[in-house]
Structure 1
Amino acid sequence: MAFSIATWNINSVRLRMPLVERFLLEYAPDVLSLQETKCANDVFPAAAFRKLGYEHIAINGQKGYHGVATVARRPIEIVERRRFCENDDCRHVSVRFDAGGKSLLLHNFYVPAGGDEPDPEINRKFRHKLDFVAEMNAIRAEHDEVSGSVLVGDLNIAPLEHDVWSHKQLLNVVSHTPVETTGFEAMRKAGGWIDLMRHGVPDDQKLYTWWSYRAQDWQASNRGRRLDHVWCSANLVPHFAGYEILREARGWERPSDHVPVIARFDLN
């Protein structure tokens, strides 16, 4: 059976725990990485996850904002909760676990959204986002014969032309501006990361993981963006068995504006 890792910006884990329960019961990934959990560590709903069989939990949370968590059905070792830009926002946690005879390092990221104005000189949130991505150059796809790396999360940038509903109309919209996409792709390639969602998928095929709450009918307008990503070290690519974007979750009751992405590997 394939080993699976899911990533999902849940937009408040306590508010949407019923959706998380539904997802875990129906799809049962081996590991789930959540972003924008929006709760401090001491109020994270760990008991609910353990009841569902996800007994191993790594959290980096804060009250009301940001926050990441990785839960698993197998033992995980917390490696790091890294700070970026000399800021205490909780946006990263990495864990290590064994799968298929390999030791895998899994990074879970929530990159800053960047605000509305794509000018770092007048928008400190956008400056922070650019600086954060630049610091991610230090996160490399470490691997050798017995180890590999995976990076997942809401990276808040849609890098390619068909990762957005309209390349032309979004060129000056935060998440798809040239300064973001150029720096993002340069960082990914410099780190040795493989973009698994585009591996074997033509660049002209539309891929979305996020649909705005602002759309009256998100499904009809289909104005999406690919903000959620799954990357891995080159040595894991031969083990990659495909992925699924769970678009239907955007239509669940009181949904997140992001949907889960499940990546599968031939690693038992």
Structure 2
Amino acid sequence: MTLRLTTWNINSVRLRIDQVARYVSESGTDVLLLQEIKCTDDQFPVRAFEDMGLPHLKIGGQKGWHGVAIASRLPLEEAPNLGLCREGHARCVSATVKGVEIQNFYIPAGGDLPDRALNPKFDHKMDFYERLTAHIERRDPDARLLLAGDFNIAPGEFDVWNHRYMLKIVSHTPVEIETLTRLQQAGRFSDVIRDAFPDPEKLASWWSYRAQDFRKSNRGLRLDHIWTSPGLTPAVVPGSARIHEPVRAWERPSDHAPVSVDLDV
């Protein structure tokens, strides 16, 4: 069967539940990975997800901030809980679907100053990546593993609106790019979106709310990712990976667009 999987930083699931329902209906998504749900587990709109055909849930909620969730048409089985966040934030939730281990992340943004000694938020971000990389180095590359979510790093020259300028800005600084590359190499992960749309095509999944017209300002970043392990990459359906940019133009949108891929499982 074909499994359609989407990752989306929703920036408040309760505020945007109508957009979620519309997207699920129009996209045919089978598994939805959400970040920044911004609610506790008991506040999560369970009934709405049941109504949209995604009744199987794994929720990692947090009051007012952060929070992640997995919603699925298919039953969810347990997967390792990585517990990577030193601050105890709800930034990772996991599940297994049809033999595919899914790790859904909302990785810290890192503040404004790319200096670990002077900026605790940036140190937290780097620490999260170091812990995740250490975990991946111990994993079997033949496992069917998928990492996805808001990684808060745009890795490539064509994943930002202005490479030279953004090299000074947290999300695209050299140390962050090196850190993300180290993680990708540790697991030999495939970046399914960039594989589908090779350089030099410009890609973005996030656009600031500050721009009145995000398309006109055209200052996007590709912060949202889906990666597959060597054991899972052959299951990626060619040509299926995409960024759903039109969703960013919906009424009262998240500042992130959904990113999806199909897996032949």
* Same structural fold, with TM-score higher than 0.5 when normalized by the shorter chain: yes
Aligned residue in 2 for 1:249: 247
Q: Is the 8 A contact 1:83 1:90 kept in 2?
A: no
TM-score by length of 2: 0.94
CA distance in 1, matches of 2:35, 2:198: 27
Aligned residue in 1 for 2:15: 15
1:213 to 209, 213, 217: 209
Q: Measured at CA, do residues 83 and 222 of structure 1 come closer, stay the same or move farther in structure 2, by a change above 3 Å?
A: same
Amino acid at match of 1:161: E
1:1-268 aligned at under 5 Å gives the runs 2-98=2-98, 103-140=99-136, 142=140, 144=142, 148-241=144-237, 242-267=240-265
Q: Is the 8 A contact 2:204 2:222 kept in 1?
A: yes
The alignment of Structure 1 onto Structure 2 pairs a total of residues equal to 261
Greater CA drift, 205-214 or 134-143:
134-143
Greater CA drift, 157-166 or 85-94:
85-94
- Structure (1 or 2) with the greater strand fraction: 1
Q: Is the 8 A contact 1:142 1:149 kept in 2?
A: no
3-state secondary structure, aligned to 1:94: strand
CA distance in 1, matches of 2:140, 2:58: 20
CA distance in 1, matches of 2:11, 2:150: 11
Report percent identity of matched pairs.
Answer: 48
3-state secondary structure, aligned to 1:264: strand
CA distance in 2, matches of 1:80, 1:43: 24
TM-score by length of 1: 0.93
3-state secondary structure, aligned to 1:209: coil
Greater CA drift, 135-144 or 148-157:
135-144
CA distance in 2, matches of 1:58, 1:138: 25
Amino acid at match of 1:51: D
Q: Is the 8 A contact 1:60 1:81 kept in 2?
A: no
CA distance in 1, matches of 2:157, 2:41: 38
CA distance in 2, matches of 1:85, 1:4: 28
Amino acid at match of 1:261: V
Unmatched 5+ residue regions in structure 2?
none
- Report the alpha carbon displacement of residue 121 of structure 1 after superposing the two structures with TM: 1.6
- Report the alpha carbon displacement of residue 55 of structure 1 after superposing the two structures with TM: 1.1
Greater CA drift, 111-120 or 35-44:
111-120
CA distance in 1, matches of 2:60, 2:84: 13
Unmatched 5+ residue regions in structure 1?
none
- Report the alpha carbon displacement of residue 53 of structure 1 after superposing the two structures with TM: 1.2
1:165-196 Cα distance to aligned partner (Å, 9 max, x none): 00001111000000101011111111221111
3-state secondary structure, aligned to 1:211: coil
- Report the alpha carbon displacement of residue 142 of structure 1 after superposing the two structures with TM: 4.1
3-state secondary structure, aligned to 1:158: coil
- Report the alpha carbon displacement of residue 227 of structure 1 after superposing the two structures with TM: 0.1
